Amino acid sequence: MTAISAFAAPPRIGFVYPAGGQAGATFEVSVGGQNLDDPIGVVVSGEGISAEILEHDKIPSAQVIDDYRDKFRELQPEFAKLKESGATGTPDLLPEIRQLLAGAELDEKKLRLMSEYERRRNDPKQQINTQIGESVRVRVTIAETAEPGIHHWRLQTASGLSNPMRFVVGHHPEINEPDPHRFDLLQFVGLVTKPNAARSREGGDTSISLPVTLNGRILPGEVDEFIFQAKEGEKLVVSLQARNLIPYLADAVPGWFQTVVSLHDSRGRELAFADDYRFDPDPVIFYKISHEGEYHLRIRDSIYRGREDFVYRVNLGELPFLTAITPLGGQSGSEVDLTFHGANLSEQHFPRYPVPQQTGIVELTATGPGGSSNAIDFHVESLPEDAEREDNNRLGMANPVEIPALVNGTILLPGDVDFFRIEGSGNKPMSFEVFARRLGSPLDANLTVYNDDGEMIAYNDDYENPTAGLTTHHADARITVTLPDNGRCFVRVADTQNRYGYAHAYRLRIAQAIPNFALRATPATLNAKPGATARLTVHALRIDGFTGLIHLRLKDAPEGFELKGGPVAEGAEKVDVSIAVPYNYSGQPVPLLVEGTAEIEGKTVVIEAVPAEDMMQAFIYRHLVPADALLIDVRTPPEKPAP
């Protein structure tokens, strides 16, 4: 009977903690996951971030822990002699203790793993999750010139490259929460009666000066608390990132770490509270300090869950924060009178602001005394722009619109609805699409299309957009409908929740429907042995009735890399393909680009696939979450040791 070699599985990571750091800093990071044996490096998107592997931790089996425990028990008389001799728990004792441990085939790491095993086994609230049961310690250095914002982090081991996780480069000094489970060798062997407070916090400094970024993670039942000083009149912003760091948790409801943040005075009185920011699960607090003094910030999960991957970052201080942009967008290449809305902004009004030439959704940021603000989306289209004109609340008062067009409007007053009159080509498909919620507007839009006689011919409330992988409530409406014979129709925009106000702005795109498609390629990390193949799934997101074949290919791939398989069949939503790699390749992970081509109305359309992760939310829902790049790592993994 022929023996079959079994190879070690590639790594899979579930969190990076802390999930970022300040430009110019060097610090330690813990990466949690599974199959993390033999880590050799880290691959981080962008420039200026370097990493050095320090140590891999993997909790041994119960049998191995029992062996450690027996050997440690035999050393107890030696530790007792040290204590009876009057020796104190100073670092001077560490060499002697380590020598004793070495004589019993033990070391500090084995004792630390034994301590962690006991803690997890004896904690009734601890949720054991093998998917984050291993950890790798990494020393990270971020250059002063590193691009601020989100980067993507992959751990590289002898078995391959991991999935990407988000890692943030920030502007402000950073502080990590105290680690209540930090291992202390002197305490563990009984030469210190309680943890050394100075050694229990990273850096040993408990003072917090603003502005600052706070890092922490919540374990079961925990409420983290940070104490800081604030001055009278300061316009404090507390902006928390949790779901933005780890978008979806497969085995947690609602599918992410749902944070709650509250601000308290020195007597414990609650001054402000938030469990979200508008429709974003990550909360934000705006608070003007009434008097100088001590303040407390508390952070927890909404139902007191917790686990090592319940990771958060909090930006705290008198920081610039953008809440909205007026208008929500503009015509490409034109100029608009732009207004920023928010807190602690240096400048708010920008007359004749140049709109980018590139169409799509772009990110804008503001500045303030505390640096750069959060990013907010701005919609750029090539279509001519128009604006609604009140009173257009009735069919008979509908605004005439010359198509194609992009209409800017607002659901401003109670009962407000907006009607528009369209004259197009009879029996031709027309597309109506609202851009609002995805641009930061609280509008929960619905669209209704009527024929010339006022009869409803189409309606949509929430158009589920599969390209929006981070969205769980698709509140923007979209309709594609064939126009009546005379080409005339009316479209109505309304708010489904009957809410209104200046912020409830929208952009209504009206144009002839043109069949098209988008592509997503999952997973965003592939691993293959030299001369072998890796499996890739290409998802086709079909738009406005396109059902045709989509042929696939690699764009500008290195020699020897080849896509095998496809096309995406007529009407199909996805296809599994293979990426073949050369026998003689060795080196760094290779970035790949997948293209799809299709014939649409006599034209060849070429679309590049966006790399993504197929992530599960709360045991059932799946989302295609965009990633930085599609990388393939070519190596021969080590064989798995015999059981």
Q: What is the mean pLDDT of the chain?
A: 92
Query: How many helices and strands, by DSSP H and E, does the chain display?
Result: 6, 46
Lookup: tokens for 60: 């041994």
List the domain boundaries for the chain. 321-381, 385-513, 517-634
Q: Would you state the pLDDT for residue 200?
A: 35
Cα gap 389→399, rounded to integer Å: 7
Interior CA angle at 354 toward 350 and 356, to 5°? 130
Give every residue of the chain whose pLDDT is below 70, as ranges: 1-6, 86-90, 127-128, 194-206, 642-643
Nearest to 56 by CA among 35, 83, 82: 35
41 sits in which H/E element: strand 39-44
Give 517-634's CATH code, choosing from 3.40.50.10890, 3.50.50.60, 3.40.50.720, 2.60.40.10: 2.60.40.10
Cα gap 625→347, rounded to integer Å: 34
Residue 212, sorted as left (phi over 0), alpha (psi -120 to 50) or beta, turns out to be: beta
pLDDT digits (tens, 9 = 90+) for 338-357: 999 999 999 999 999 999 99
- Under CATH, to which class is 385-513 assigned? mainly beta
Give me the amino acid identity at 482. Answer: T
Cα gap 5→356, rounded to integer Å: 55
Q: Would you state the pLDDT for residue 560?
A: 93
pLDDT digits (tens, 9 = 90+) for 253-268: 899 999 999 999 999 9
Cα gap 628→153, rounded to integer Å: 10
Lookup: tokens for 397: 């008062």
Half-sphere exposure of 501 (CA within 13 A, CB side): 7
Half-sphere exposure of 110 (CA within 13 A, CB side): 17
pLDDT digits (tens, 9 = 90+) for 51-85: 999 999 998 889 999 999 999 999 998 888 887 77
Q: Would you state the pLDDT for residue 198?
A: 36
570 sits in which H/E element: none
Q: What size, in residues, is the chain?
A: 643
Interior CA angle at 184 toward 179 and 190, to 5°? 135
Q: Would you state the pLDDT for residue 642?
A: 62
Lookup: tokens for 629: 């790049």
Q: Would you state the pLDDT for residue 186?
A: 86
